[in-house]
Amino acid sequence: MADSNFRGPVNAMGSLEVNAATATVDPLDGPSMFYQGVAMPDSRSAPFAKDGFRPGQQAAFLVGPSLKLADNIPQARSSTQLGVSAVATAATAVSLATTQVAGVASACNIAVGVPIIPVGTTNVTYVIALDFGFTTGTTTANSTTVAVVDNTLFNVGQWLVLGGVGNAAATRSHIAQVQTVATANTTTITILPAAVTGLASIPIGQGNLFGSAFLPPATQFGPAAASASAHSYGGAFAAGLSKVYNPREMLCRNIALQGVTSLAAYSAVVSGWDVWGNPMTELITMTTATSVVGKKAFKYIGSVVPGTTSSQPISYGLGDTFGFPVRVDEWDQTYVTWNNSAQTNNNGFAAAVTTNPATNTTGDVRGTVMISTAILTGSGLSTAVSAVATNGTSRLTISVDCLPWNVVFGTPINPVPMFSVAQSTT
């Protein structure tokens, strides 16, 4: 479509063109999208040469964007969430969690057997997801009814991924479509297919299909209605023409190793994927400390492979460092709240590491914030923004004011200004 200049203003009325009693809401009413944001012209730059097109023709200020990137209650960390204590053998993958456990209402939780389609592939891979879900729900075995914290978060026809209730062993997450949202209360939805296992407060995430036909299929003679196949990265959900990322689903965090006593040397390579489904690896090394954490923020975990044989049992859990979903170069770009308080110091901040190529020992390519001093060894930092460790009740929010350079120069052929260099995969 040709470029054009016009006087404006632009006014998108959507469903507001008639009164509320007769209004119709179209699925594509909004929101509007503007590539590379919105710019406000400098009023001193008149007259505007409306018939010309050349780079830098109009002086302007970029308006925002300020992005809300994370907003949820992280799971309380422990040293055994990913793998219980066991002696590790070099080059032999450790046994990671395979069975879903009940969670805490409204708080994130690990989800096992979560289907994802990693970037660069077309195949579904089943993984452990960290701080999974935009809300929680309680299932009953072989029942279509799910008790939820707030059913106003759901829409009829929405596809979901329910943590660990897809089989009797609770080792596979369940893909299902919302059939009904109760109006007599705000705590019940129904889904199809029914959950196979009953568990309390399991995490519920967004599926990767939008605006699809309703299940069950209308006829047995035609093709079956399409079904979601995996988790939607960033918890993205349909919002008009947009697929909008959900801050409730964008927490990602670092990995912790725990020994019984101090080790002379033990290392392991953690392999997984980031919040956008990009494969990533990190080499975490224990030297003289009992506990050590990594610097990178994972969303999904595939394996942990020791580089050395341990002389004592090692367990694998979560740290209290959280990643930024976009590239952050300066603490002043961020607004972080934790445990009901705005964090005013930069003690736990680590800027995006843009060394190219990234390695499995460099910091996170988009930057991180360490919210507590629970484990400092290995983080590369001497303190954190808070002494309050994740506890399953405190909320973390992260917003970022993107700089004009990052927004304008982040393009399909060069995403580095917005999303940084590629993750290490070695």
Angle at 254 between CA 248 and CA 259, to 5 degrees: 135
Residue 191 structure tokens: 């889904």
| Cβ neighbours around 227 below 10 Å, total | 15
Quote the CA–CA distance of 200 and 208 in Å, as a whole number: 24
d(CA 373, CA 291): 12
pLDDT in single tens digits along all 426 residues of the chain: 567 788 888 888 888 877 777 778 888 888 889 899 999 999 898 888 777 778 888 899 999 789 999 999 999 999 999 999 889 899 999 999 999 999 999 999 999 999 999 999 999 999 999 999 999 999 999 999 999 999 999 999 999 999 999 999 999 999 999 999 999 999 999 999 999 999 999 999 999 999 877 776 555 555 566 799 999 999 999 998 899 999 999 999 999 999 877 666 889 999 999 999 999 999 999 877 788 999 999 999 999 999 998 888 999 999 999 999 999 999 999 999 999 999 989 999 999 999 999 999 999 999 999 999 998 999 989 899 999 999 999 999 999 999 999 999 999 999 999 999 999 999
Residue 111 lies in a domain: no
Residue 400 falls within a domain, yes or no?
yes
* 388 close to 395: Cβ distance less than 8 angstroms: no
In a domain, 313, yes or no: yes
Q: How many folded domains does the chain comprise?
A: 2
Domain that holds residue 312: 69-74+250-419
Q: Which of 203, 221, 245 is the last residue of a domain?
A: 245
Question: Would you say 358 and 103 are in contact if contact means Cβ atoms under 8 Å apart?
Answer: no
Does residue 394 sit within a domain? yes
pTM metric for this prediction: 0.94
Say if residue 169 is in the same domain as residue 302: no
Coil/strand/helix, residue 204: strand
Do 228 and 375 lie in one domain? The reply is: no
Tell me if residue 123 falls in helix, strand or coil: coil
Residue 282 is encoded by which pair of tokens? Answer: 């990190």
Residue 273 shares a structural domain with residue 412: yes
CB of 213 closer than 8 Å to CB of 143:
no
How many Å apart are CA 286 and CA 262, to the nearest integer?
A: 8
Final residue belonging to a domain, choices 245, 273, 301: 245
The 8-class DSSP code of residue 288 comes to S
C-alpha 104/C-alpha 176 separation (Å) is 22
Which DSSP category does 364 fall into?
A: -
